[in-house]
Amino acid sequence: MERPPWAPRGIDISVPSVARIYDFYLGGSHNFEVDRQAGRRAMEFMPGLPKLAQANRAFMRRAVEYAVAQGVTQFLDIGSGIPAFGNVHEVARGACGEAKVVYVDHDPVAVAHAGAVLDGDAGAGAGTADLRRPREVLALEPVGRLLDLTRPAVLLLVAVLHFLAEADDPCAAVRELRDAMAPGSLLILTHVSYEGIPVPAEQAGGALDVYRDIRNPLIMRSRDEIARFFEGYDMVEPGLVPLPCWRPVAAPDEEDALALWGLAGVGRKA
């Protein structure tokens, strides 16, 4: 398999990556055939996965615009994946030219591509760290250089917590990040759930098996379990709701039913 110039040396391009599979769902070009094969296998059980990914991105854009409207213009995006059109810095800058953004991911391909996209951008940066180790995230050079966490900031955990098992204690990681941020900070979060899923659980299980096979299992949590991540935050209306239902710019259509197995919410730190 030929290694493209954007793929960092040292990564195994014969092993699927959840970031590159997600890029495939979004119609991106930074994925390999092994990623596309895994994505297609999952789509045999859940044909709506690209629609889910698109709804997830659309929610992110609406939530970022909301944050800027509230006067919060610095963003820490953990599990950011491979930058695609309409990413956080583009949306935020569209509303506030002075917005600062730091992207964090544990996938070196995602971080390398983010670095290339942001080359020459003094107000944005990217670093490699794992959500399971919040101190390493907070110690990243671009975090210290670009973000002032003594002032309100936005923590984005979009489509990442469902890759953390309970053994990883994701609630503790979210609490540690919350405690490092100033009052008035916002949490923007999405997570998959069986609640509202448009196909039988057994059928969805086939898609979950694909992620389990590539050693990145998707952890399905209930609404109440997802709500625990917002402890210490006041929920912003309309609360924790299906992706298309969080402050939609237009009434959700029938196709949005494919995205109802993702829940989204925004909280404000008291």
Chain position carrying tokens 């990413």: 87
DSSP codes of every residue in 20-85? HHHHHHTT-S---HHHHHHHHHHHHH-TTHHHHHHHHHHHHHHHHHHHHHTT--EEEEET--S--T
* Distance, CA of 41 to CA of 237 (rounded, Å): 37
Q: pLDDT tens digit string along 88-130?
A: 999 999 999 999 999 999 988 788 888 888 888 999 999 999 9
| pLDDT, position 115 | 86
* Distance, CA of 257 to CA of 161 (rounded, Å): 22
* Distance, CA of 47 to CA of 36 (rounded, Å): 14
Phi, psi values for residue 53, rounded to 5°: -60, -40
* pTM confidence score: 0.92
> 3-class DSSP state for residue 267?
strand
From the list 79, 48, 46, the residue with the least C-alpha distance to 161 is 79
Of the candidate CATH numbers 3.40.50.1100, 3.30.420.280, 3.40.605.10, 3.40.50.150, the domain formed by 51-194+223-269 belongs to 3.40.50.150
DSSP code for 97: T
pLDDT > 90: what percent of the chain? 69
Q: What is the mean pLDDT of residues 34-47?
A: 94
The encoded tokens of residue 124 equal: 């944005």
Amino acid letter, residue 50: P
Q: pLDDT tens digit string along 170-188?
A: 999 999 999 999 999 999 9
Q: What is the mean pLDDT of residues 80-87?
A: 82
> Which residues are bridge partners to 189 per DSSP?
157, 265
Non-local CB neighbours of 119 within 8 Å, separated by 6+ positions: none
The domain locations on the chain are 51-194+223-269
